[in-house]
Structure 1
Amino acid sequence: MATSAEAIVDLDAIAHNTRVLTRAMGNAALMAVVKADGFGHGAVATARAAVGAGARWIGVTSAFEALEQRAAGLDVPILAWMCGPQDDLTALAEARITLSVATLSHLDAIAGEAERRGVALDVHIKADTGLSRGGAVRNTWPELFGWARKYESAGQIRVTGLWSHLAIAEEPDHPSLAAQRSAFTEAVELARAAGLTPVMLHLANSAGILQLPDTRLDLGRAGIALYGVPPAPGSDFGLRPAMTVRAGVVQAGDGRAVLPLGFGYGVPRRLGGVAEVLIHGVRRPIVGAVAMDHLIVDTGELPVTEGDEAVLFGPGDRGEPTVVEQAGLAGTNPHELLTGIGARLPRRHRQHTEA
């Protein structure tokens, strides 16, 4: 009997997916991207499971996320790529966080903090190679690389990495991929010409790791695939979805069931009238509008009583909808649906010994 709504997170699935991704990377390293509270799965629990299964880096966006990992005892290298000069660089330096840099002003701030502390801080320079969503644009590369080398020579920073992000890695034959690879090669050559020697070159996201071998380089950044969502259509890549959202029926009768799940929990309103849930192994439709605190299911002739379990999405192995299916019906992607499942819905992390 189910008595409440919750999100069950299968940490064995996270570990399994990590192993799938590390095998794809070969001798190169895997970064577990746990931004946005581990895509809604719980950042610290996800990071621990991934590192335990072979991930050698953790990736986050904000200073808060980076410091949260260190406070939890995670001691592997951490890259944070959306920190700015306004963040507490002292705290980040003390926590040994590697910072991504894309502007000269940010580089200046990091170098200044390093000078005050008398230490060299590690940075990865992000080059925009075509995504146009952050990263140093092409006409700033020579100046940025030149100043990076000056600060490195002064002992203020260490440029340990150079990276970029693929725009359309989901389509292996998309022409933008060749253009981005060429642009990244140019960035590496310019950086080395300026005297920089970054030892970690990284370009591949989840789709790149799994289907674009020439983008894997020294490090692959696994985001959505870490959580078991295929990053490209046509294959599940051997991944296992990690989150199940379920609830107990709180009211039943007259062919209807009320579930304590609504848009206040992160269930998209657009699922009303188009999506289904699984009850007693049978899919039944959501009817009417999804409210803030509940949704209504048409149970038909199915014998449903209070406390019976209904599954909004899960791995799909029992016939329940998957997050990919529900996201499609909601007109969004699985990333938004997973990260939108808010803190109001308790997480229950489940882990067993897995061979």
Structure 2
Amino acid sequence: MSDTTSSTPPAPAPPGLPACAQVDLGAISANVAALRERAGSAEVMAVVKADAYGHGLVPAARAAVRGGATWLGVAQLPEAVELRQAGVDVPVLSWLHVPGQDFTEAVALGIDLGIAAQWSLQQALDAAAATGRTARIHVKVDTGLGRNGAWDADLDALIDDVARAQADRAVEVVGVFSHFAYADAPQHPTVRAQQERFEGLLTQFEQAGIRPQVRHLANSAATLTNPSAHYDLVRPGVSVYGLSPVPDLGAPEDFGLREAMRLVARLALVKDCPAGQGISYGHTYTTSEQTRLGLVPMGYADGIPRHASSRGPVQVGGSRYAVAGRVCMDQFVLVLGADNAAVAGDEAVLFGVGASGEPTAQDWAVAAGTINYEVVTRVGARVPRVYVGGEDL
């Protein structure tokens, strides 16, 4: 297994910025390399949807390709178009669309389209006719998640229509794919049931004369914990960025991964405070003794979860503190202790590399009652991304 956990200590954040998200592109590449080893003979589609889970679409995609990803996946079509316009030329799959969406540009750019209904197939056919090119499609089947994907009679009709379109050379069936409901619980009975359903549907496709190039089902959790679900292609998402999709089973370093994002700020103010002083809106926190306060210039407008008020962990000067009182729109307060030597401008690490002793996105997820996926993807647009450790500098 590739060693992605041994590294130099994280570099300090650039001075003069109230806050920034440091994105380690080298960590993304190394994480993909580790996932490739896990995937065995299957190829890796690095999922870079939602601005690469907040890490930056194009830089993260390029880093993933450098690490060995041979495919990229996004939810929405504009993301795929942006990748093509940036010169990223590996296969890119976009899978979440709506009626009336124009697929013409996608087909012209060679973008793979997820097809989950007859209307989306028709839109692909219209685009193929308009461009004179064969549309590359992946048929999405619902094997039990109860979300996107065709099933039952709708799927039967869709398979028939896809077979006819394939015979007419209007479409090329590049893939058939589905998604797990409980991949983060590998022993859950639905996991095997969905695999069996998926394999049965693949037989149905084959009987209709449809033999896709790639069959794909495994997300991050299944890539790490369920080799039987790897098939031809795995689709890791959050693990590409060094976060564990199964934190109850292991931390990132247990899977050979390293967190790619450090969210850091500079203290905007440090001041003495007497005992008995209420802190922030509603005075939900009151100081019990004379202390010093540190003001962090980030808030829920930057993606800091308000639900983590009085709980979110922050590291200053090597020591860890919890948010004191409520997270506000643009700022929150830390109670640093009476003898703390911190000064305005000192670095405050909200989350970073757990193996280096920093608070993690998972720690914030626990504090806010959510998942680490949400913590990194909600980091706001006004927080600049600063790239380190890669070629996109």
Q: Tell me if 1:238 matches 2:256.
A: yes
**Aligned equivalents of 2:304, 2:66: Cα separation in 1:** 31
Distance in structure 1 (CA, Å) of the matches to 2:97 and 2:390: 36
Q: Aligned partners of 1:5 and 1:142: how far apart in 2?
A: 52
Instruction: Confirm or deny that 1:267 pairs with 2:304.
Output: yes
Alignment of 1:99-110 (within 5 A): 99-110=113-124
Residue matched to 2:324? 287
Q: Is the 8 A contact 1:141 1:187 kept in 2?
A: no
Aligned partners of 1:30 and 1:57: how far apart in 2? 6
Is structure 2 residue 64 aligned with structure 1 residue 50? yes
Superposed displacement of residue 39, structure 1: 0.1
Q: CA deviation at 1:328?
A: 1.1
Who is 2:314 aligned against? Answer: 277
* Match of residue 171 from structure 1: 185
- Per-residue deviation, residues 53-100 of structure 1 (Å, max 9, x unmatched): 100000001111000100111000000001234222111111110000
Q: Secondary structure at the match of 1:87?
A: coil
Q: Any conservation in 2 of the 1:281–1:318 contact (CA below 8 Å)?
A: no
Instruction: Render the CA deviation track for 1:17-44: whole Å, top value 9, x for unaligned.
Output: 0001011112211001000000000011
Alignment of 1:67-216 (within 5 A): 67-216=81-230
Aligned-partner residue type, residue 241 of structure 1: E
Aligned 8 A contact 1:278 1:319 in 2 = no
Residues 1:249 and 2:263 aligned together: no
CA contact (8 A) 2:108 2:133 kept: no
Q: Take 1:191 and 1:342, find their aligned partners in 2: how far apart are those partners?
A: 43
Whether 1:322 and 2:365 are equivalent positions in the alignment is no
Alignment of 1:297 with 2:337, yes or no, is no
Displacement of 1:317: 3.4
Q: Which residue identity is paired with 2:73?
A: G
Distance in 2 (alpha carbons) for counterparts of 1:50 and 1:183: 31
Q: Which amino acid aligns with 1:178?
A: R
Question: Partner of 1:119: helix, strand, or coil?
Answer: coil
Number of residue-to-residue matches in the alignment = 353
Counterpart in the other structure of 2:279: none
* Cα RMSD (Å): 1.3
Deviations 1:259-293 (A, max 9, x none): 11111100011222112210110012211111111
Deviation of the 1:352 alpha carbon? 5.0
Query: Distance in 2 between the 1:205 and 1:228 partners?
Result: 14
SS in 2 for 1:79: strand
SS in 1 for 2:121: helix
Aligned-partner residue type, residue 360 of structure 2: T
| C-alpha separation in 1, matches of 2:141 and 2:322 | 47
Mark the runs of 5 or more structure 2 residues left unpaired by the alignment: 1-11, 273-291
Corresponding residue SS for 1:222? coil
1:118-168: CA deviation from partner (whole Å, max 9, x where unpaired): 221110000000011100022222211111010111121111110000111
- The superposition leaves residues 213-259 of structure 1 with CA deviations (integer Å, 9 ceiling, x where unpaired) of 11000000010100111111222311101110111111101110111
2:357 maps to amino acid: G
The one-letter amino acid of 1:314's match is G
Contact 2:45–2:234 (Cα < 8 Å) also in 1: yes
Q: Equivalent residue for 2:348?
A: 310
2:295 aligned counterpart, secondary structure: strand
Contact 1:100 1:125 in 2 (8 A): yes
State the identity %: 39
TM-score by length of 1: 0.97
Residue 304 of structure 1, CA deviation: 1.0
1:62 to 46, 60, 76: 76
Q: Aligned partners of 2:72 and 2:318: how far apart in 1? A: 38
Q: Is the 8 A contact 2:108 2:131 kept in 1?
A: no
- Kindly provide the amino acid, as one letter, of the partner of residue 305 in structure 2: P
Shift in Å at residue 177 of structure 1?
Answer: 0.8
**Corresponding residue for 2:369?**
331
